[in-house]
Structure 1
Amino acid sequence: MSSRSMAEESDPHAPPRLAVDAVSRRYGPALALDRVSLALGAGEILAVLGDSGCGKSTLLRLVSGLDEPDAGEIRVDGRLVAGRGRSVPPEARGIGLMFQDYALFPHLTVLANVRFGLKRLGRDASRRVALERLGEVGLAERAESYPATLSGGEAQRVALARALAPRPRVLLLDEPFSNLDAGTRERVRADTVRVLRQAGASAILVTHDAAEAVEVADRIALMRAGRLIQCGTAEALYRAPASPAAARALGEVIEIPGLAAEGLVETPLGSLPRPAAIADGAVRVCLRPEAIRVGPAGEGRPSRVLRRAFAGPALRLDLAVDGLDAPLRLNLPPDTPAADLVGVGLVAERVLVFADRSEAD
């Protein structure tokens, strides 16, 4: 990490590396982004997580300058680059962009691809910097190769070296690992994070893969239908999601009905204390696997085993429970004793309870 980056991180009064303030973008009748606000710190990696069409790539286009917001402001190191009638060109924003398909120039060597954004340095200096960046991603020996001779993982690392070569203030990565097979993806992802950390880079990673977001990022911004629904560390989002949609974004969730009254929440799987923030009435109860306890038939609500199936490292049970319209599907340890009836209960401190709203959330 450079001395400048270290100084910025130690200065609590320094502006965020990137600040997006109430940014909206509409394409005809479709609202692609709706008043999105987020900040990126120096040396921080932020994952923007959401399904296709939620606005992730639109956000990157606005930050990079490839598109302009209809409302709101974007600042880099406190400098206004978009909004209030101002639009700084992409090349003058200090933003690097790594495309999903890498966009390497097929007629240029690996070295020439990395040097492409360094013309202002002159021939000798640009060559030296490009070789340094290739060394950082472990590809200095492929400097004179052409993109067609590279593996998918190597092409991804060349694209990363090219994006980092000018030392951008913010690096944007749009689904950078989606074109790789599963084995290569894990290795290249780890290499990418290592390079970003070593460079002290501030980066935004767009992904639809929750496991990837958890592994890579310092914080995760959850997006849905053009809105930012929650932002925080992976642990905070997992343990205290703001809505059922936020809960679903970071892992398996089973939703069951509940009724809050007289200090308790009653569900088909048992009762639990009513959270202070929840009013009496119908509620939505979200259960991660660790919130459900399965034991002998005499312990908990009696449940009939409909199906028992081997599922690799887990045993899959489909259970019929009174009060539930659909079977309860659980993954349990593979050595769970066989039985036709089991008892199901709740681990109260791990249950998520939300107000029951009619609108999609």
Structure 2
Amino acid sequence: MTDAASTATASRLVVSDLSRRFGRTLALDGVSLTLGPGEILAVLGASGCGKSTLLRLIAGLDTPDAGTILVGDRRVAGGGRHEPPATRGVGLMFQDYALFPHLTVMANIRFGLAHLPADEARRVARERLDQVGLAHRAESYPDTLSGGEAQRVALARALAPRPRVLLLDEPFSNLDAGTREHVRADTLAVLRRDRIGAILVTHDATEAVAFADRIALMHRGRIVQCGSPEALYDAPRTPFAARALGEIIEIPGTAAGGRVTTPLGLLPRPDALPEGEVTVCLRPEAIRLGPAGDGVPAAVLGRAFAGPRLRLDLAVAGLAAPLRLHLPADAVPGDRVGLHLVPAQAHVFPPARESGDEASLN
């Protein structure tokens, strides 16, 4: 799946048909993506899907087996060319920050500014420290910093050479929840202010939605869908994509004629959907609760407090396991209720293939 061709001329970074194999393992399989000037893209996927390999290839720390990488209008990899990391104009921020423990904060930031005169390097480093609110820690050493401070120093160091593209490899995963949200917001503010294009690698869907303009969903070395968070949430192309960006309830269905029959009611059959057994992925908002006798009958088996909504376990004829919903409801165990489907929030797919659940209508 590729979105590179149509926007290549306007993009600061263009990755085309990138592949990388390690022995028998195909880590990247024809990956294509673009990053526009000032755009922030999240690459979202589970561990081992190829996210970090992609960043290493873009940064120049590894060489692709096939494909090309352009930064601006300059080819930096592919076609027999491999430009070294130092000249690509690409910054990389590691998961563990990779600060030099024997250097002060100021010296860490100046490390990538050796090409500048000493006074200029000091001025740029001080400017970046000011931007991340750590000018007062300039002479401190990394082992005296909190996790959030170390992350901001790493950001300042990555931004000091003024990269055209910044790559962030799970940079917030080592922080506690409260610090993570605060530092993530600070990082985003710096990138937005300086209009620096960035690629964030993450396995956290909430982080990807909060941080990025677009999200590229990665699975088994391939980009399976790329778009805005809203587009991916509202129109997933596969069951994997549906699960990636929010809670999903999966139920069986049968496509025949112009409709799909499910234990929760009828849905219109998508034009491209073949007849037979199907998988139906429902967002929580796709199921509405009503009184008994109105809709598909269900029995309340249990309920539990879950913040502003209750968690209800419902028995429904035709479903092997109880249906678990989070709804603003007053139902109690023993109640009978009715269920209604909202077709716009239901996504219907052919059965998953044995090689993976990438069944798609596209």
Q: Does the pair score TM above 0.5?
A: yes
Alignment partner of 2:115: what SS?
A: helix
Which residues of structure 1 form unaligned runs of 5+? 1-11
What CA distance in whole angstroms lies between the structure 2 residues aligned with 1:221 and 1:333? 32
Do residues 55 (structure 1) and 55 (structure 2) align?
no
Match of 1:144 in 2: 139
Amino acid at match of 1:260: A
187-196 or 317-326: bigger deviation: 317-326
Structure 1 residue 304: Cα displacement = 1.8
What CA distance in whole angstroms lies between the structure 2 residues aligned with 1:285 and 1:275? 12
1:16-39: CA deviations, max 9, x gaps? Answer: 211111111111111111100001
- 8 A Cα contact 1:15 1:78, kept in partner: no
Match of 1:8 in 2: none
Match of 2:86 in 1: 91
Match of 1:46 in 2: 41
1:179-224: CA deviations, max 9, x gaps? Answer: 0000000000000000011111010000000010001001000001
Structure 1 residue 86: Cα displacement = 1.1
Q: Residues 37-186 of structure 1: matches in 2 within 5 Å?
A: 37-186=32-181
Alignment partner of 1:121: what SS?
A: coil
Q: Residues 1-361 of structure 1: matches in 2 within 5 Å?
A: 14-333=9-328, 335-336=330-331, 339-359=334-354, 360-361=356-357
- 8 A Cα contact 1:313 1:334, kept in partner: no
Which residues of structure 2 form unaligned runs of 5+? 1-6, 358-362
Alignment partner of 1:198: what SS?
A: helix
Amino acid at match of 1:165: A
What CA distance in whole angstroms lies between the structure 1 residues aligned with 2:95 and 2:332? 47
192-201 or 344-353: bigger deviation: 344-353
Match of 1:9 in 2: none
What CA distance in whole angstroms lies between the structure 2 residues aligned with 1:182 and 1:16? 34
Alignment partner of 2:114: what SS?
A: helix
- 8 A Cα contact 2:216 2:223, kept in partner: yes
Kindly tell me the number of residue pairs found equivalent between the two proteins. 350
- 8 A Cα contact 1:64 1:97, kept in partner: yes
TM-score by length of 1: 0.94
- 8 A Cα contact 1:24 1:36, kept in partner: yes
258-267 or 237-246: bigger deviation: 258-267
Amino acid at match of 1:157: R
- 8 A Cα contact 1:305 1:340, kept in partner: yes
Alignment partner of 1:242: what SS?
A: coil
- 8 A Cα contact 1:316 1:330, kept in partner: yes
81-90 or 273-282: bigger deviation: 273-282
What CA distance in whole angstroms lies between the structure 2 residues aligned with 1:214 and 1:207? 11
Identity of aligned residues (%): 70
TM-score by length of 2: 0.94
